[in-house]
Amino acid sequence: MSGHEHDHHDHDHSELSETQLRVRALESVLTEKGYVDPAALDLLIETYEKKVGPRNGARVVAKAWVDPAYRARLLKDATPAIAEIGYAGRQGEHIVALENTPKLHNMVVCTLCSCYPWPVLGLPPVWYKSAPYRSRAVADPRGVLADFGVTLPKDTEIRIWDSTSEIRYLVLPMRPAGTEGWSEEKLVELVTRDSMIGTGLPKSPKDLAK
């Protein structure tokens, strides 16, 4: 299961069109039998394609950066704190926020499948669900971070959280320097999806200026 769904080899193309036909066949049968409603299917797709995404989590992080009381609530019990902002539900019923510090860096993985905090990050990217990440994050996190172009100090403790239950993890990255007085809206721009998984760091003010 490599992240190569978009490779352009001939055998991939014929496999994919076979898959396409199978999906279409299955959808036809299920719809004809009345088990699924096509309008419901479209709404499900629209929700996760357009409405729910990492911007949700970025808002949570930005708020925690500016509001110490919110930060405390978030770290104590993330699910209701996140619901305060309006995000909740499927694959986010039990969220735990993980605080990065200068001494501790958190990373989240699901070695067994693809568990991911949908309400705050949307659907997981292909790399998160693929064998390289799932196999190496727990054994060689520094190697994985190197694949993302991130190097941490040798003595930073790295905590990897394998999401084996319905608990979902959201990394709270450290607030970048040089952002004193910034509004939440502006801070949101710095919070990348990867920084909330733990495979990246937030942008810095100069990254925004580019």
Partner 1 sequence: MNGGQDLGGTHGHGPVEPEANEPVFHAEWEKRAFALTLAMTAPGGWNIDMGRFARENRPPGEYLSMTYYQIWLAALEHMAKEGGLVSDDEIEAGHSLQPPKPVRRILLPGDVAKVLYRGGPTERDTNTKPIFGVGDRVRAKNINPLTHTRLPRYVRGHVGTIERVIGCHVFPDSNAHGGGENPQWLYTVRFDGPELWGADSDATIKVSVDAWEPYLSPAT
Q: Taking the complex as a whole, how short is the minimal distance between the CB of residue 206 and partner 1, in angstroms? A: 20
Of the candidates 110, 122, 99, the one whose C-alpha atom is nearest the C-alpha of residue 173 is 99
- CA–CA separation, 210 vs 199, rounded Å? 22
Q: Please say if 114 is a catalytic residue.
A: yes
Q: Which is nearer to partner 1, 65 or 98 (CB)?
A: 98
Task: For the beta carbon of residue 31, count every other beta carbon within 10 angstroms.
Answer: 13
Distance of closest approach, residue 10 Cβ to partner 1, in angstroms: 16
**Max CA distance (Å), the chain:** 60
Residue 185 CB, nearest approach to partner 1 (Å): 22
Query: Is the sign of the CA dihedral 188, 101, 96, 124 positive or negative?
Result: positive
Q: CA angle, 156 as apex, 165 and 141 as ends, to 5°?
A: 50
Of 28 and 101, nearer to partner 1 (C-beta) is: 28
Which helix (DSSP H) or strand (DSSP E) does residue 172 occupy?
strand 167-172
Structure tokens at 97: 């926020």
Sign of CA dihedral 152, 157, 162, 168: negative
Q: Please pick, among 14, 17, 113, 204, the residue that the annotation labels catalytic.
A: 113
Minimal distance in Å, beta carbon 200 to partner 1? 9
Residue 88 to residue 94: CA distance in whole angstroms = 9
Of 139 and 208, nearer to partner 1 (C-beta) is: 139
Residue 101 Cβ vs partner 1, minimum distance, rounded to whole Å? 14
- Kindly tell me which of 144 and 187 has the beta carbon lying closer to partner 1: 144
Nearest to partner 1 of 15, 67 (CB atom): 15
Count of residues making up the chain: 210
The catalytic residues are 110, 113-115
